[in-house]
Structure 1
Amino acid sequence: MDEAELRARLHALSQEHRDLDAAIEALSRSATADILQIARLKKRKLRLKDEIAQITDLLIPDIIA
């Protein structure tokens, strides 16, 4: 992947991460909160966070001081 593709992927993942955050918040406030569904969404959100971190590491070169 080139830099433009990585940045586009990073943007899409970040948006999905925010959307999951909003969905988890809404489900948590629900009177009939589905604990299993919330747990699945949180797990997906963590996977997204890891993938976002990997792409960010690719885009930002290590600088050894």
Structure 2
Amino acid sequence: MSLSSHVEELKKKHQTLSDSVESLQRSPATDDMEIARLKKQKLMLKEEIGRLSH
């Protein structure tokens, strides 16, 4: 897998996590721990994308 395709895959995962967080935040029975876990994963992906892109 090339670096650019790896970065694109990470961006897709980041977007999927963003969508999941958004959906959970709109749900009346939200689990704050789950949202926090997903946000942490999003941040780790964003940092890795930034590191690989520069």
Q: Give the TM bin, normalised by the shorter chain.
A: over 0.9
Map of 2:5 onto structure 1: 8
Secondary structure of 2:29's aligned partner: coil
Structure 2 alignment gaps of length 5 or more = none
**Fraction of identical pairs, as percent:** 39
Which residue, out of 25, 41, 46, partners 1:44? 41
Q: Which runs of 5+ in 1 are unaligned?
A: 58-65
Q: Is the helix fraction higher in 1 or 2?
A: 2
Shift in Å, 1:22 = 0.3
TM-score by length of 2: 0.96
Root-mean-square deviation (CA, aligned residues, Å) is: 0.9
Q: Point out the structure with max Rg over C-alpha.
A: 1
Aligned residues: 54
Structure 1 equivalent of residue 17 of structure 2: 20
The ranges of structure 1 where at least 4 consecutive aligned residues each deviate by more than 3 angstroms after the TM superposition are none
